């Protein structure tokens, strides 16, 4: 039986934040420990300043010990103990970890891989997003917990499941296939429309009926990219329906507490469509982990935070999980350097998070995550990690007054879309090593170095009032987005569109008449052909005023039909042709960038766009100093993060919250430290 499609019930915006001030704490998994340790946990939580824990995320097998048989006494005791100690609880519905008895009774709920293999019990998220059997059990479990704990005074928020799709993103079983066909019927209505949307004339793959469609199961040759893309869209919606079913079961019993789940917004396209999901959580929450081999991790933290904020810049969000030090799931799991924990956490607070939580409170001694760092490490409290956890707890209390404020309106919007990212990622493409994230990070990095704040927003975001709109590698673009970008330019924005943007429509159909199709007229360019570069290749470029630069990875054969050429290719097949251009549009302008430029060359282009828009970097944004301002209720706070190994003086006047000092004119940010100044000279 196909399941219901997701309903569209909106976010409840006016529910109270789960803590007073900023939230601080982490996932708490007390079932792994005897009660004596649990008592110690609470004492140490108080020492660390923990005020919120996410409880029970993986506890299903300890709560429902057999079908319909509940053992809730231990959870009662944990909740009461936390309440007595004034530690609030974000109570999870533990659907991310179905119990072994459920898998044994209903192995059909386990997802099936592309190759037709049904996964086995013993992992996480071992359930098919379309399974009505799983849904029934999950909803029953959520109802039992919500009915029992809905009024518990410690429970201030509900956390449905965990990282939906992070282990069961795609299921290729027959139940999923039927659900997919029902989703397609809803989207296309009839098979003729579907055939046209997917271009099934290619290879003669026309369907006689929607009933003939299968998920993109394993095959030796390439699949239809439109089918792949729709399967991604469907999978996100199927998971959303699961989230909604559990959320609604919780809401039956709990009307005045926010319900959410944790996203995985980092640099790449998500496992779900976060912009669509964002409308269905009461508080937006994210898990953000250090990527050990990222050459500039601090910029990636800012990128993730700017993406989360961009989902709705008008409200604070929550950093639901990050790590105190190393994770355990990358090839080489780097520990955090001294001070890095504070910088990572407060980067998110500076960029709009009203809390910083971790996976997890106490480091496990057994199980799959035994070598993942935690707030309380294996070695105990005589450790760098514990000391920094306590210091961070003090910092979060000292910063309490920023709670409820938001980041000062960002002059720049950067368009970024999970769905467009999937479209570029799936199927055979001109370049398989270049992702949308590369283009987006390149531009974001240039702004980050200048201290210019940028909201990373979904394509349908309101662009009015933005001085600059960046459109990096937005491969799939619908007409409405293209029109909104054009209208932003006409109203005065400086728009920068890069290579790959506007190439295909929402059906994944190439827009003909020249690439950059959706933006070609706006930018006044005609892109004839892509010229992909190999790993070792670079191409010299030159600015109109004679500066030399470099392109790598991607170049294009472009003609400036109705635009001024600002940079040209200086060698190779494209020598003399435009590399980037500018076209005056109404009160603004549209730039087109056809190449992936080396950092110094791109910085020059971005500086020109900022100057064109009349934007200047804040005076405090010295090299390696991150500057972000939060504002609210007539006040403002300037966050300053020193990513360098030297002390740096900056201009500031007001009261510094972390050192509790008044500042008159100048403040030195010690090497690697963070400061937050309530400003005396600015109104919020």
Residues that bind ligand GLA (CB under 6 A): 162-163, 287, 289, 321, 327, 359, 369, 372
Q: Measured between alpha carbons, how far is residue 322 from residues 125, 327, 614, 619 in Å?
A: 20, 9, 37, 31
Count of CB atoms situated within 10 Å of the CB of 283: 25
Ramachandran category for residue 399: left, alpha or beta (phi over 0 → left; psi -120 to 50 → alpha): alpha
E strands, 429-519, are 454-457, 468-471, 494-498
Q: Measured between alpha carbons, how far is residue 21 from residues 44, 363, 386 in Å?
A: 20, 26, 22
Residues marked active site are found at 163, 321
- Supply angle C-alpha 222, 223, 227, rounded to 5: 160
Which residue's CB is nearer to ligand GLA, number 188 or number 359?
359
CB 603 within 8 A of CB 543: no
Q: Least CB distance from residue 436 to ligand GLA, whole Å?
A: 23
Which residue's CB is nearer to ligand GLA, number 41 or number 369?
369
CB 615 within 8 A of CB 555: no
Which residue's CB is nearer to ligand GLA, number 38 or number 261?
261
Q: Least CB distance from residue 58 to ligand GLA, whole Å?
A: 7
Cα–Cα dist 192/201, whole Å: 11
Q: Residue 321 — φ and ψ, nearest 5°?
A: -145, 140
CB 406 within 8 A of CB 455: no
Which residue's CB is nearer to ligand GLA, number 163 or number 299?
163
Which residue's CB is nearer to ligand GLA, number 275 or number 320?
320
CB 370 within 8 A of CB 39: no
3-state helix/strand/coil string of 564-576: EEEEEECCHHHCC
Q: Least CB distance from residue 300 to ligand GLA, whole Å?
A: 15
Beta bridge partners of 624: none
Q: Least CB distance from residue 360 to ligand GLA, whole Å?
A: 7
Encoded tokens for 223: 């699949």
Which residue's CB is nearer to ligand GLA, number 369 or number 417?
369
Residues with Cβ within 8 Å of 87's Cβ and at least 6 positions away in sequence, in order, are 25, 42, 45, 46, 50, 51, 52, 53, 154
Q: Least CB distance from residue 277 to ligand GLA, whole Å?
A: 16
DSSP for 300-328, please give it: HHHHHHHHHHHT-TTS-EEEEE--SS--S
Q: How far apart are the first and last CA of the chain?
A: 54
Exposed (0-12), middle (13-18) or buried (19+): which is 222, by Cβ within 10 Å?
A: exposed
Q: Least CB distance from residue 261 to ligand GLA, whole Å?
A: 10
Which residue's CB is nearer to ligand GLA, number 287 or number 556?
287
Cα–Cα dist 590/525, whole Å: 10
DSSP for 505-544, please give it: -TTSPBPPSSBSHHHHHHHTEEEEEEEEPPTT-EEEEEET
Q: Least CB distance from residue 137 to ligand GLA, whole Å?
A: 21
Q: Measured between alpha carbons, how far is residue 153 from residues 38, 49, 90, 148, 413 in Å?
A: 20, 19, 11, 12, 41
Q: Least CB distance from residue 656 to ligand GLA, whole Å?
A: 33
The counts of H helices and E strands in the chain are 17, 29
Residues with Cβ within 8 Å of 655's Cβ and at least 6 positions away in sequence, in order, are 661, 662, 663, 677, 678, 680
Q: Least CB distance from residue 320 to ligand GLA, whole Å?
A: 8
Cα–Cα dist 482/488, whole Å: 10
Q: Least CB distance from residue 99 to ligand GLA, whole Å?
A: 17
Cα–Cα dist 30/160, whole Å: 19
Which residue's CB is nearer to ligand GLA, number 237 or number 321?
321
Residues with Cβ within 8 Å of 76's Cβ and at least 6 positions away in sequence, in order, are none
Using DSSP, state whether 231 is helix, strand or coil.
Answer: helix
Q: Least CB distance from residue 127 to ligand GLA, whole Å?
A: 16
β 635-642/674-679 pair status? antiparallel
Which residue's CB is nearer to ligand GLA, number 163 or number 300?
163
Q: Least CB distance from residue 82 to ligand GLA, whole Å?
A: 19
Which residue's CB is nearer to ligand GLA, number 372 or number 643?
372
Q: Least CB distance from residue 92 to ligand GLA, whole Å?
A: 10
Count of positions (residues) in the chain: 684
E strands, 213-360, are 259-260, 262-263, 285-287, 317-321, 353-358
Ramachandran category for residue 339: left, alpha or beta (phi over 0 → left; psi -120 to 50 → alpha): left
Cα–Cα dist 623/437, whole Å: 24
């Amino acid at each position: 039986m196909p399941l219901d499609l997701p309903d569209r019930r909106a976010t409840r915006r006016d529910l109270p934040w789960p803590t007073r001030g900023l939230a601080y704490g982490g996932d708490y998994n007390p079932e792994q420990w005897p009660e004596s340790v649990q008592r110690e946990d609470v004492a140490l939580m108080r020492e660390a300043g923990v005020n919120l824990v996410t409880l029970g995320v993986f506890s299903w097998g300890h709560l429902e010990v057999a079908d319909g048989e509940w053992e809730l006494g231990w959870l009662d005791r944990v909740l009461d103990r936390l309440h007595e100690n004034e530690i609030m609880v974000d109570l999870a519905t533990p659907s991310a970890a179905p119990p072994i008895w459920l898998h044994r009774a209903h192995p059909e709920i386990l997802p099936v891989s592309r190759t037709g293999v049904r996964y086995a019990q013993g992992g996480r998220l071992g359930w098919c997003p379309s399974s009505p059997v799983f849904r029934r059990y999950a909803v029953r479990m959520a109802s039992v917990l919500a009915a029992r704990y809905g009024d518990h005074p410690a429970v201030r928020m509900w956390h449905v499941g965990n990282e939906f799709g992070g282990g069961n993103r795609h299921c290729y079983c027959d139940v999923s296939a039927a659900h997919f066909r029902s989703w397609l019927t809803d989207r296309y209505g009839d098979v003729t429309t579907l055939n046209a949307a997917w271009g099934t004339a290619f290879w003669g793959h026309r369907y006689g009926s929607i009933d003939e469609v299968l998920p993109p199961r394993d095959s030796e040759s390439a699949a239809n990219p439109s089918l792949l893309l729709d399967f991604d869209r469907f999978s996100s919606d199927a998971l959303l329906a699961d989230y909604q079913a559990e959320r609604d079961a919780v809401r039956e019993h709990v009307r005045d507490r926010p319900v959410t789940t944790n996203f995985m917004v980092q640099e790449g396209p998500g496992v779900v469509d976060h912009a669509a999901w964002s409308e269905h959580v009461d508080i937006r929450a994210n898990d953000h982990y250090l990527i050990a081999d990222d050459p500039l991790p601090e910029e990636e933290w800012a990128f993730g935070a700017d993406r989360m904020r961009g989902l709705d810049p008008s409200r604070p969000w929550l950093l639901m999980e990050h790590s105190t030090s190393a994770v355990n799931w990358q090839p080489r799991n780097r520990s955090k350097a001294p001070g890095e924990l504070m910088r990572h956490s407060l980067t998110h607070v500076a960029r709009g998070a009203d809390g910083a939580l971790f996976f997890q409170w106490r480091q496990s001694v057994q199980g799959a995550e035994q070598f993942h760092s935690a707030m309380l490490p294996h070695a105990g409290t005589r450790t760098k990690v514990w000391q920094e956890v306590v210091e961070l707890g003090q910092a979060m209390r000292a910063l309490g007054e920023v709670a409820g404020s938001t980041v000062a309106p960002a002059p720049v919007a950067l368009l970024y879309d999970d769905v467009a990212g999937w479209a570029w990622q799936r199927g055979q493409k001109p370049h398989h090593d270049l992702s949308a994230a590369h283009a987006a990070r390149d531009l974001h990095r240039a702004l980050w170095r200048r201290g210019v704040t940028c909201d990373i927003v979904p394509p349908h975001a309101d662009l009015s009032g933005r001085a600059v709109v960046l459109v990096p590698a937005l491969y799939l673009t619908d007409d409405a987005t293209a029109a909104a970008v054009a209208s932003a330019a006409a109203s005065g924005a400086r728009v920068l569109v890069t290579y790959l943007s506007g190439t295909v429509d929402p059906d994944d159909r190439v827009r003909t008449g020249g690439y950059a199709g959706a933006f070609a007229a706006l930018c006044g360019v005609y892109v004839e052909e892509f010229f992909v570069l190999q790993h070792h290749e670079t191409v010299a470029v030159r600015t109109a005023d004679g500066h030399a630069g470099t392109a790598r990875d991607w170049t294009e054969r472009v003609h400036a039909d109705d635009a001024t050429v600002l940079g040209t290719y200086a060698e190779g097949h494209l020598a003399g042709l435009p590399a980037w251009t500018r076209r005056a549009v109404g009160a603004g302008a549209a730039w087109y960038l056809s190449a992936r430029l080396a950092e110094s060359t791109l910085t020059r282009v971005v500086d020109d766009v900022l100057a064109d828009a009349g934007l200047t970097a804040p005076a405090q944004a010295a090299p390696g100093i991150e500057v972000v301002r939060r504002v609210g209720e007539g006040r403002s706070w300037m966050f300053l993060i020193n990513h360098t190994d030297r002390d740096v003086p900056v201009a500031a006047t007001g009261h510094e919250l972390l050192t509790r000092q008044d500042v008159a004119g100048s403040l030195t940010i010690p090497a690697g430290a963070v400061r937050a100044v309530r400003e005396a000279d600015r109104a919020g």
